């Protein structure tokens, strides 16, 4: 069941981020209620961690409705109780994003999401999702959802491709060039270091952009093996940059650094 929830939630979150899916009216309404109940049930600690979904609130969400059989959230929520903590966190992020993205001042999600190798040539404030890809969970997807959940209009620049073309001779050069360009183009770079890998390229990029004076929001999982190095290097090079220990806090810090007006690209 753990793998089932991860697969169901991951597919649905991807479709949401790419604009391929939005819940229909009643499904959307119940998802908003479920998100609010999760935040209330979790208290302050639960809210900071993405809330708590109770069995009673899920049962209420799935109460009979003529269109319940077509709701894509339904199988996700049925699998939720037996899912891994990581998969459950993704579901809560998705619900929180749904609860906010109907806000009329936010552009549609597809207009606020750029995935490598697609170029970004807009003027809206942007956040580059810097950090590990290989050997790391898909934290970038959660960061995009969390930006929505706080009502941020930022364009997310995501270097993690849905499918990297390993057999393509120029794929690595194309990817590296895209990252190099968009790291310099972004208004803010969000660096998140997961616990599962050292991520030497991301460490190099953090050092380079700390030296450039780029707006940075930095966080590491408490179990990241080089967390102490990140703390000490930033203490010396950029003492004003805090190092957060949760993705939620890092996303909020990135959103707070965004300029209020459109950016002139050169």
In a domain, 266, yes or no: no
Question: Other CB atoms closer than 10 Å to residue 146's CB: what's the count?
Answer: 22
CA dihedral 188, 129, 161, 176 (to 10 degrees): 70
- Model's pTM, two decimal places? 0.92
Is 44's pLDDT higher than 50? no
The mean pLDDT value of the chain amounts to: 92
Range of the domain at 11: 2-101
Tell me what pLDDT residue 126 has: 98
Look up residue 47 and give its two tokens: 């809210």
Tell me what pLDDT residue 106 has: 79
Tell me what pLDDT residue 172 has: 92
In a domain, 265, yes or no: no
Look up residue 100 and give its two tokens: 């906010």
Is 130's pLDDT higher than 50? yes
Tell me what pLDDT residue 108 has: 83
Query: For 217-258, how does the pLDDT look when each residue is reduced to its tens digit (9 = 90+)?
Result: 999 999 999 999 999 999 999 999 999 999 999 999 999 999
Give the pLDDT band (50/70/90) at residue 3.
confident
Q: Alpha helix (H) ranges present in the chain?
A: 2-17, 25-48, 55-61, 73-79, 85-101, 139-149, 171-185, 200-212, 227-237, 247-257
Tell me what pLDDT residue 104 has: 58
In a domain, 263, yes or no: no
Domain boundary at 78, 101, 124, which? 101
Is 48's pLDDT higher than 50? no
Query: For 187-209, how does the pLDDT look when each residue is reduced to its tens digit (9 = 90+)?
Result: 999 999 999 999 999 999 999 99
Closest CA to 50 of 252, 248, 255: 248
Closest CA to 224 of 251, 239, 203, 210: 203
How many domains is the chain partitioned into structurally? 2
Domain boundary at 101, 129, 154, which? 101
Is 71's pLDDT higher than 50? yes
Together in a domain, 141 and 253: yes
- For residues 89 and 85, give the distance between their C-alpha atoms in angstroms, rounded to a whole number: 6
Query: For 24-39, how does the pLDDT look when each residue is reduced to its tens digit (9 = 90+)?
Result: 999 999 999 999 988 7
In a domain, 79, yes or no: yes
Look up residue 124 and give its two tokens: 């809206």
What sign for the dihedral angle of Cα 95, 154, 158, 220? negative
- For residues 146 and 93, give the distance between their C-alpha atoms in angstroms, rounded to a whole number: 6
Is 18's pLDDT higher than 60? yes
Tell me what pLDDT residue 42 has: 47
Query: Rg for the chain (alpha carbons), in Å?
Result: 19
Percent of the chain with pLDDT over 90: 82
- The mean pLDDT of 132-148, rounded to a whole number, is 96
Tell me what pLDDT residue 265 has: 62
Domain boundary at 52, 72, 101, which? 101
Tell me what pLDDT residue 43 has: 44
Together in a domain, 52 and 10: yes
Tell me what pLDDT residue 110 has: 82
Together in a domain, 63 and 144: no
Q: What is the layout of strands, in order, in the sheet containing 216-220?
A: 113-115, 155-158, 126-131, 188-193, 216-220, 243-244
In a domain, 58, yes or no: yes
Query: For 165-189, how does the pLDDT look when each residue is reduced to its tens digit (9 = 90+)?
Result: 888 889 999 999 999 999 999 999 9
Together in a domain, 128 and 224: yes
Compare 256 and 44 and report the one with higher pLDDT. Answer: 256
Is 1's pLDDT higher than 50? no
- For residues 95 and 89, give the distance between their C-alpha atoms in angstroms, rounded to a whole number: 10
CATH number, residue 188 = 3.40.50.450
């Amino acid at each position: 069941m753990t793998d089932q929830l991860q697969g169901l939630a991951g597919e649905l979150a991807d479709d949401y981020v790419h604009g391929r899916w939005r819940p229909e009216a009643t499904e959307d309404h119940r998802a908003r209620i479920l998100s609010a109940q999760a935040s209330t049930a979790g208290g302050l600690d639960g809210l900071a961690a993405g809330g708590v979904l109770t069995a009673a609130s899920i049962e209420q969400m799935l109460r009979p409705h003529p269109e319940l059989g077509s709701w894509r959230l339904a199988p996700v929520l049925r699998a939720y109780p037996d899912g891994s903590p990581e998969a459950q966190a993704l579901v809560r992020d998705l619900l929180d994003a749904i609860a906010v993205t109907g806000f009329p001042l936010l552009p549609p999600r597809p207009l606020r999401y750029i995935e490598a190798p697609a170029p970004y040539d807009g003027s809206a404030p942007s956040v580059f999702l810097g950090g590990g890809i290989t050997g790391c969970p898909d934290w970038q997807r959660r960061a995009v959802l969390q930006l929505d959940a706080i009502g941020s209009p930022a364009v997310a620049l995501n270097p993690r491709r849905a499918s990297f073309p390993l057999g393509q001779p120029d794929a690595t050069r194309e990817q590296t060039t895209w990252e190099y360009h968009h790291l310099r183009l972004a208004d803010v770079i969000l660096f998140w270091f997961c616990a599962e890998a050292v991520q030497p390229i991301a460490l190099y990029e953090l050092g380079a952009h700390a030296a450039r004076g780029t707006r940075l929001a930095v966080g590491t999982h408490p179990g990241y093996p080089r967390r102490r190095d990140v703390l000490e290097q930033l203490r010396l090079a950029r003492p004003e940059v805090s190092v957060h220990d949760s993705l939620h806090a890092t996303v909020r810090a990135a959103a707070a650094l965004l300029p209020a007006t459109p950016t002139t690209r050169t």
